Amino acid sequence: MKTQNELPRKSKGNGSSRPVPELVAADSQDCPREQMIAEAAYYRAEQRGFASGNEMSDWLQAETDVEGILRNSQ
């Protein structure tokens, strides 16, 4: 799994940069399930401004979302 420093960065207009996770297709054979969940959890955290205290909730909801996607793709 990539660390924060290994994620690609996208420059904003004000010169600052922040990590931008790579998008992965849900049915990709190259992408392990855990990586898909980690990325989905990241996006959930991003949507709520990375406020601490909800990491487990983000992960569990992302896991449910990914399981649903994988189940529907079969």
At 73 the pLDDT is: 87
CB 24 within 8 A of CB 35: yes
Name the pTM for this structure: 0.57
At 32 the pLDDT is: 87
Render pLDDT for 13-32 as a digit per residue (tens, 0 to 9).
444 445 545 544 544 556 78
Domain extent listing, the chain: 30-74
47, HSE (Cβ side, Cα atoms, 13 Å): 10
